[in-house]
Amino acid sequence: MPALVLLGAQWGDEGKGKATDLLGGSVDYVVRYQGGNNAGHTVVVGDQKYALHLLPSGILSPGCTPVIGNGVVVDPSVLFSELNGLNERGVDTSKLLISGNAHIITPYNVTVDKVTERFLGKRKIGTTGRGIGPTYADKINRVGIRVQDLYDESILTQKVEAALDVKNQMLTKLYNRRAIAVEQVVEELLGYAERLAPYVADTVLVLNQALDEDKVVLFEGGQGTLLDIDHGTYPFVTSSNPTAGGACTGAGVGPTKISRVIGILKAYTTRVGAGPFPTELFDEDGEALRRIGGERGVTTGRDRRCGWFDAVIARYATRVNGLTDFFLTKLDVLTGWEQIPVCVAYEIDGRRVEELPYSQTDFHHAKPVYEMLPGWSEDISKAKSFADLPKNAQAYVKALEEMSGAPISAIGVGPGRDETIEINSFL
Ligand code: IMP
């Protein structure tokens, strides 16, 4: 019953694609359990680079069945263009399974995302503009459209009517936009039904049966722990649960089935969009991290905010996810600094605080308390084992492990598939 959860331990973009892909060959199912095409994985296979937004990265491993679980929100037009792009490059996507209970990102959800962000002005969240929040809002308000609704035109029409009732009032009266016609939306959605049909399945049953048969199932979180709607830096978060518990609700498996929870942890920190970020850098070091680390969003093309490693956040991620392991990524990006600051605690209004404060006000006031660790200048991208790393790089990894509260079982030393040091096997 090996069920593994792989998730971002910081604010997303930790390099999950590489980790998932590394495991892909030995994994039978890769499951996305939340989020939608707001995510962005870059996966490098040989000399080919793939940017995936909605599809699980396991789609690139021939033996693996990729699954989009009930907790995901699906924009069919994005799904099809992602499938087309892969098919054109010779990738077989026919094994994909999509939960009939997954919610659809409708065109009006995308419109509402954009107009509300514009309306918020300087208070905006900095969303990806993909309709994620409004689709989850419809789900919770019980006016969402699910994949299965595409197969009953009369039900679909009633549901779209219900969803647009209030939204059209809002769009026309508050935002000064044109109303959206029910028929037009229904027609567009019905247009997706036939192509989607072969993929639609009872994924809860499929996955539980697979676990009963001792198949290896990997649950792949989008975004990251600090972007979780419950456990992140609310309100500057996404609208779903990337944390480990989300794998249970978003895929329909019980917590007793999960055997391992792996947190992907970047050797420094990045964040996209608005919200607090205690170790953010506004100087040439931040610029250098961005340049060397290629810190530009896969989904939005926005520059990522960059800063030093924050051990308070890593400890928090260990706790809220019950992490059993870390996969430390992008260690090579830190090569060349004489000394590397690591945030070990915060100073909040004159007090030293060791753990992430639950109060939003406190977190906004948090100033990093740094410990300086000695850097290294040797190229580490060819390192195959922990012993191959320079002594100071080894000490950096060990210090992070100690502060973060879970073993670092793999280290990324470059973007390529084989540029990874495995310390403990994940399977
Ligand atoms: P939304 O998910 O589009 O609603 O955006 C909410 C917040 O989550 C914004 O700050 C986004 O920049 C951030 N976000 C969403 N997806 C990702 C991701 O995959 N990586 C990093 N940040 C993300």
The reply to whether ligand 1 has any atom less than 6 angstroms from the CB of 134 is no
Cα of 11 vs centre of ligand 1, distance in Å, is 8
Query: Quick one: which atom of ligand 1 is closest to the CA of 302?
Result: 12
The reply to whether ligand 1 has any atom less than 6 angstroms from the CB of 132 is yes
Cβ(226)–Cβ(233) below 8 Å: yes
The reply to whether ligand 1 has any atom less than 6 angstroms from the CB of 38 is yes
The reply to whether ligand 1 has any atom less than 6 angstroms from the CB of 131 is no
Residues in the chain: 427
Q: Which tokens sit at 231?
A: 């456990």
The reply to whether ligand 1 has any atom less than 6 angstroms from the CB of 36 is no
Ligand 1 pocket: which of 42, 227, 231, 306 to mutate (most atoms <8 Å of CB)? 227
Cα of 236 vs centre of ligand 1, distance in Å, is 9
pLDDT string in tens for the chain (427-residue length): 589 999 999 999 998 877 876 786 789 999 999 999 998 877 777 778 888 899 998 888 888 999 999 999 999 999 999 999 999 999 999 999 999 999 999 999 999 999 999 999 999 999 999 999 999 999 999 999 999 999 999 999 999 999 999 999 999 999 999 999 999 999 999 999 999 999 999 999 999 999 999 999 999 999 999 999 999 999 999 999 999 999 999 999 999 999 999 999 999 999 999 999 999 999 999 999 999 999 987 777 889 999 999 999 999 999 999 999 999 999 999 999 999 999 999 999 999 999 999 999 999 999 999 999 999 999 999 999 999 999 999 999 999 999 999 999 999 999 887 899 999 998 8
Ligand 1 pocket: which of 10, 38, 52 to mutate (most atoms <8 Å of CB)? 38
Residues in a beta bridge with 97: 67
Mind telling me the catalytic residues? 13, 41
Which residue type occupies 202?
Answer: D
Cβ(407)–Cβ(418) below 8 Å: no
The pLDDT of residue 286: 97
Cβ(132)–Cβ(236) below 8 Å: no
The pLDDT of residue 21: 65
Cα of 205 vs centre of ligand 1, distance in Å, is 30
Nearest CA to ligand 1 atom 23: 223
The pLDDT of residue 17: 72
Cα of 398 vs centre of ligand 1, distance in Å, is 30
The reply to whether ligand 1 has any atom less than 6 angstroms from the CB of 239 is yes
Query: Quick one: which atom of ligand 1 is closest to the CA of 272?
Result: 12
Dihedrals φ, ψ of 235, to 5°? -90, 5
The reply to whether ligand 1 has any atom less than 6 angstroms from the CB of 222 is yes
Domains and CATH numbers, the chain: 3-87+203-422 (3.90.170.10), 103-198 (1.10.300.10)
- Full strand arrangement of the beta sheet holding 65-68: 200-201, 97-99, 65-68, 29-32, 217-220, 3-8, 260-266, 325-329, 408-412, 420-422
Dihedrals φ, ψ of 329, to 5°? -110, 160
The pLDDT of residue 221: 95
Cβ(258)–Cβ(211) below 8 Å: no
State yes or no: cis peptide before 235, omega within 30 of 0. Answer: yes
The reply to whether ligand 1 has any atom less than 6 angstroms from the CB of 112 is no
Cα of 312 vs centre of ligand 1, distance in Å, is 21
State yes or no: cis peptide before 134, omega within 30 of 0. Answer: no
The pLDDT of residue 1: 59
Nearest CA to ligand 1 atom 11: 127
Cα of 36 vs centre of ligand 1, distance in Å, is 10
The reply to whether ligand 1 has any atom less than 6 angstroms from the CB of 128 is yes
**Does the reported pTM lie above 0.85?**
yes
The reply to whether ligand 1 has any atom less than 6 angstroms from the CB of 223 is yes
Instruction: Count Cα atoms within 13 angstroms, Cβ side, for 362.
Output: 13
Nearest CA to ligand 1 atom 5: 127
Residues 12 and 34: their CA atoms lie apart, in Å, by 13
Cα of 303 vs centre of ligand 1, distance in Å, is 13
The pLDDT of residue 414: 93
Dihedrals φ, ψ of 368, to 5°? -70, 140
The pLDDT of residue 20: 73
